[in-house]
Amino acid sequence: APVTGQIADVEEQLRQETAELATKQAGLNGLRDAVQGLQDRQRAASDTAQQAGRKLADIEARAQALAALQAKIGQGKDSAQWLLDRGLAKAHRLWQGLDIEPGWEDALEAVLRERLDAVELDRLEATLDWVGGSGDAKGGPPRIAFYVSATGTAAESGAVDGDTLLARVRSLRPEIARLLADWLRGVRCRDDVGAALRDRGTLAIGESFVTPQGHLVSAQAVGFFAPDSELHGVLARQRELSELAHAIGKSEDDAEIMSNSQLELLLT
């Protein structure tokens, strides 16, 4: 009887230890699965971070290339030196304050021509020193336009009709709203030359139609547009630069979030 009791005790102890071992084995398997899951998540996060890094590098390279092109605007040999001699090399340019509806960039370029790259002055009277008989020893100005802003004194441009080019242009600076209203006055829009020709009978004196391709149609004439200067595409590039700047900011925020996630995985 004593031996039988000892055997029963040993068997009970064995059952308990077997159950405890099974519990620990299940816990170990769970930990292994958790570690494998963390490793998988870390690899996925690392791959995502690398892809985001490559995308950000591509966006930044594109932005740098576009910025370099924009920096060359107005750097022609004649105008660049002329402006530099008069301390205007860094002056604000009109196109820098404009945003136009996508697809109508060539139209605005065709209408404004060199005025699209007009240089901002503090006083228009300064131009008197650069025209004949005013004693400018450095020579007359090249083909270039100048303007002044009108902060606090800009006249109301009035209601803008929906078919005008002015309705498709947004001024990023209220000070040049009157300037745009003057320069784009009477310019209406049509989708193509055919439509412009059909509707030209509705044009008042001084009005004309412009198409997205930059072609101009008046009551008795047609003028076809072809890019002929370094300004071509400046507005589209400016818009893309703005979009890229937004994309870069978002990519940097995403990269920071992924970096924090990876850190959390390492600390888990």
Is pTM, for the whole model, over 0.85? Answer: no
Strand extents, DSSP E, the chain: 98-100, 119-121, 146-148, 169-171, 187-189, 208-210, 216-217, 222-223
First to last CA, the chain: 55
Q: Worst-scoring range by mean pLDDT, 12-16, 37-41, 78-82, 152-156?
A: 152-156
Per-chain mean pLDDT for the chain: 82
The whole-number pLDDT of residue 38 equals 78
Q: What pLDDT band is residue 155 in, cutting at 50, 70 and 90? A: very low
**Is the pLDDT at 129 greater than 90, yes or no?**
no
